[in-house]
Amino acid sequence: MKNNERKKNFQINTQRFNVSISKVVYKQFKEKLKQEGLRSTRLLSQFVVNYVLYLDKSFVKNDRRSKEKKKGVLIVVTNEQYCKFAEKVSKENIDGSRAVEQFMENYINFIDKKKK
């Protein structure tokens, strides 16, 4: 299979969706990723998979969204992963954006503790 065919096949089987994240949290998250030499695309798609497989609404400590300004963040996963994530957060009656934001907050705290 040629490289262009692989790329096209990947694009057909993926789902792109936006979540709304606090600008402050997103900025801190990006800084921590830069320190670790990681990219948000991979980490966020892995979070979506892990949320579906291992986590539930108890992961989200506070379902209330702050009044801070928000930033749209694009997440790319397979169609199947997106459907499972959307179905799970809908069943649990939580905001998918809040779950992703909670993950970012946890990641920031983890890296801060690791550095100490």
List the domain boundaries for the chain: 3-115
Q: Can you point out the beta strands (E) in 1-116?
A: 14-22, 70-78
Predicted model pTM: 0.82
Model pLDDT for residues 48-88, shown as the tens digit of each residue: 999 999 998 888 887 666 677 899 999 999 999 999 999 99
Residues 6+ apart with CB under 8 A from 16: 74, 75, 76
Percent of the chain exceeding pLDDT 90 equals: 65
